[in-house]
Structure 1
Amino acid sequence: MPIVVRIDVELAKRKMSVGEFAERVGLTPANVAVLKNGRAKAVRFSTLEAMCQTLGCQPGDLLEWVED
């Protein structure tokens, strides 16, 4: 998958657990796992906005395009 989700990197920088992150963003821990493992087919802008707001980062800090 050419788009890589870097939630784990941002969570580690902030020493935040997946459970705490999920609660603040309004997702289930299972849905956060789907995002982290690259199995998500789409992300709503409202969810991306909540993730960025929670982590104090930009969308480009969470999403990265890599060549196959």
Structure 2
Amino acid sequence: MAIQVRLDDLLHERRMTLTELADRVGITLANLSILKTGKAKAVRFSTLEAICDALDCQPGDLLIYSP
């Protein structure tokens, strides 16, 4: 897929675990893991907004296009 999720990089930079992020965002660890591994087919804007808020980042920091 040409869209890559940089969630691992952002979590590492902020010294946060996936479990901590799931608690802050209010979504299940399983769903967050699907997004992290790039297996998600879609992401809601509300989820993207919550992740960006928790990680203090912009959507472009989280998602990159790599053809």
Q: Which TM-score bucket, shorter chain as reference?
A: over 0.9
TM (normalized to structure 1)? Answer: 0.96
Q: Secondary structure at the match of 1:33?
A: helix
Structure 2 distance, partners of 1:52, 1:38, is 17
- Local SS of the residue matching 1:52: helix
Q: Deviations over 1:9-61 (max 9, x none)?
A: 00000100100000101111111110011110100000000000000000000
The equivalent of 1:7 in structure 2 is 7
Q: Distance in 2 between matches of 1:6 and 1:26?
A: 19
- Name the aligned partner's letter for residue 22 of structure 1: A
Count of residues in correspondence between the two structures:
67
Identity %: 58
Could you tell me which runs of 5 or more consecutive residues in structure 1 were left unpaired when the two chains were aligned. none
Q: Equivalent residue for 1:46?
A: 46
Question: Runs of 5+ in structure 2 lacking a partner?
Answer: none
Letter in 2 for 1:43: V
Q: Normalising to structure 2: TM-score of the pair?
A: 0.97
- Aligned alpha-carbon RMSD (Å): 0.5
Partner of 2:37: 37
Q: Which runs of 4+ in 1 moved over 6 A?
A: none
SS at match of 1:35: helix
Q: 1: CA distance between counterparts of 2:25 and 2:8? A: 15
